[in-house]
């Protein structure tokens, strides 16, 4: 390989690419392309597998790069393209290149659908050319954070172990194969312990691995963008339950249903519209659907989050902040968002019997939430002691194994039907755990 070129791919090496970048004229552009989840490929297939992927991608990039452009390998799994001014629309070129890469390929038994995220920057008058790479890279990082897709895909059976890559491949088709379900965890009012709502929780049962914990597959779904489709499906099923359950007792107050949404969903296009469409369905009352978000969703991009949440709120949905106390937000920031419900994280509930400090945190959280007009739900209530202490602190609602585990559909219905109204006698379990 002559000097100035990358040995693996035959593209310009980083130093040469940067030299050429320095000579770019106004209107010229740089496109940075970063392989999605490359670390995961290397983790599963080793550096040899990773190199093979990179070499293949480089070949594909060469075949679609516009004539006169310069293509380089500018990082381990980063490619760069220089477009001289202003013959090409850089955004269209970037999109073409990204799409050209997504043809599936097989490496060591994994069927990969390679994905790349692109960042584009155009040189403007007065800018030194060497800031362009940083800008394109920053644009790429932002794009990725707000849900640009693609990656490594199956589905195909994969022998041995459940690496994240194997999980990711299997998860891709799991919904279509009917492996994903929702279970429903009752939420009870205090102190009556009347059943007032359910939280929808996702379950994945893989044909050979069995139950895969949400703690394992939800982050992968978020990373890959699969959560957008999974979450939309969950919201739809939840809205169907709202309607079905309200028919069980037409004169009573129907139970509300809460659905969890990830930040990846909130900032994906069509999020608000999706919920609006659900609210327009016959029998659905927006107020019976509660949207649960974690603190990190609102903390990372507060202005954008506040705008989106306000739209949902104006449509009549109720909003809950989930796992409160685990993130970075403080009580003082709560008023900036239109939440209706605050869910105290179960780590505080678990600590409250042993720790005066945990009791103080919960107590002041409840007081401030009430001052702001929020309802407080304690999560993860496992003992009658916890329940009693939470009652003494004026906590409004409780959810946890002491009251009931998450229930399959049929059991949730049975609980709703039992006892006429949904009132349960104090201190009696809703359902034996
Ligand atoms: P989360 O939203 O905070 O859900 C409550 C979790 O606490 C559930 O775990 C529930 O089974 C568990 N739990 C309830 N009561 C108790 C208790 O008394 N003791 C203990 N130790 N645990 C209790 P799960 O179902 O494993 O879900 C874990 C997390 O995965 C959820 O936390 C949520 O963040 C996420 N998740 C679940 N379903 C979905 C979904 O449909 N969409 C999204 N985006 N995330 C979901
Ligand atoms: Mg939740
Ligand atoms: Mg929670």
Mutate-to-test residue for ligand 1 from 203, 212, 214, 390, highest number of ligand atoms within 8 A of CB? 214
The two most distant CA atoms of the chain are separated, in Å, by 82
What atom of ligand 1 comes closest to residue 214's alpha carbon? Answer: 30
Sign for the CA dihedral angle at 234, 238, 239, 244 comes to positive
- Closest by CA position to 107, among listed 177, 42, 32, 164: 42
Nearest CA to ligand 1 atom 23: 380
Spacing, Cα 404 to ligand 1 middle (Å): 13
The tokens of 362 are what? 């919960």
Q: What is the pLDDT of residues 371-410, one digit of tens each?
A: 999 999 999 999 999 999 999 999 999 999 999 999 999 9
Q: Which atom of ligand 1 is nearest to the CA of 262?
A: 44
Q: pLDDT (tens digit, 9 = 90+) per residue, 95-110? A: 778 877 778 888 888 8
| Ligand 1 cavity residues, CB under 6 Å | 185, 201-202, 213-215, 218, 227, 231, 234, 260-262, 292, 322-323, 346, 379-382, 400-401, 406
pTM over 0.75: no
Domains of the chain: 14-154 (3.30.70.270), 167-432 (3.20.20.450)
Q: Note the pLDDT tens digit of each residue in 232-285.
A: 999 999 999 999 998 887 777 889 999 999 999 999 999 999 999 999 999 898
Distance 261 CA to ligand 2 centre (A): 8
| Centre of ligand 2 from the C-alpha of residue 398, in Å | 13
**Any idea which of 47-56, 272-281, 292-301, 348-357 has the lowest mean pLDDT?**
292-301
Q: Between 5 and 114, whose confidence is greater?
A: 5
CA distances from 93 to 33, 156, 157, 212 (A): 12, 32, 35, 40
CA distance 403 to 90: 58
């Amino acid at each position: 390989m002559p000097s100035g070129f990358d040995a693996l791919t035959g593209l310009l090496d980083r130093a040469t690419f940067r030299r050429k970048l320095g000579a770019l004229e106004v209107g010229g552009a740089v496109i940075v392309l970063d392989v999605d989840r490359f670390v995961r490929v290397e983790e599963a297939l080793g550096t040899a597998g990773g190199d093979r992927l990179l070499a293949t991608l480089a070949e594909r990039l060469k075949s679609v790069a516009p004539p006169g452009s310069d293509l380089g390998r500018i990082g381990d799994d980063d490619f760069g393209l220089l477009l001289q001014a202003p013959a090409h629309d850089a955004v269209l070129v970037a999109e073409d290149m990204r799409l050209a890469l997504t043809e599936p390929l097989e490496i060591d038994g994994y069927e990969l659908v390679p994905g790349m995220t692109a960042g584009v920057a155009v040189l403007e008058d007065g800018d030194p050319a060497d800031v362009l790479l940083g800008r394109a890279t920053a644009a790429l990082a932002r794009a990725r954070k707000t849900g640009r897709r693609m990656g490594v895909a199956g589905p195909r059976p994969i022998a041995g172990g459940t690496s994240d890559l194997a999980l990711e491949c299997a998860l891709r088709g799991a919904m279509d194969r009917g492996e994903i379900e929702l279970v429903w965890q009752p939420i009870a009012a205090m102190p009556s312990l009347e059943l007032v709502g359910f939280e929808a929780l996702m379950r994945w049962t893989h044909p050979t691995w069995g139950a895969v914990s949400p703690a394992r597959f939800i982050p992968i779904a978020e990373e890959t963008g699969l959560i957008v489709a999974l979450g939309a499906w969950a919201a739809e099923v939840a809205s169907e339950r709202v309607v079905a359950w309200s028919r069980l007792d037409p004169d009573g107050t129907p139970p509300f249903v809460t659905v969890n949404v990830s930040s990846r969903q909130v900032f994906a296009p069509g999020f608000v519209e999706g919920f609006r469409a659900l609210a327009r369905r016959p029998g659905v009352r927006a107020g019976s659907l509660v949207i649960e978000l974690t603190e990190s969703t609102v903390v990372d991009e507060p202005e954008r989050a506040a705008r989106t949440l306000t739209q949902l709120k104006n449509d009549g949905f109720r909003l809950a902040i989930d796992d409160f106390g685990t993130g970075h937000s403080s009580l003082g920031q709560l008023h900036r968002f239109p939440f209706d419900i605050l869910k105290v994280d179960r780590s505080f509930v678990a600590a409250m019997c042993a720790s005066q400090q945990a009791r103080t945190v919960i107590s002041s959280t409840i007081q401030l939430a009430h001052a702001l007009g929020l309802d407080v739900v304690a999560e993860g209530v496992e003992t009658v002691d916890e329940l009693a202490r939470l009652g003494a602190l004026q906590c409004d609602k409780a959810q946890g194994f002491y009251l009931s585990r998450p229930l399959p559909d049929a059991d949730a219905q049975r609980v709703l039907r039992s006892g006429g109204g949904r009132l349960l006698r104090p201190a009696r379990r809703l359902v034996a755990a």
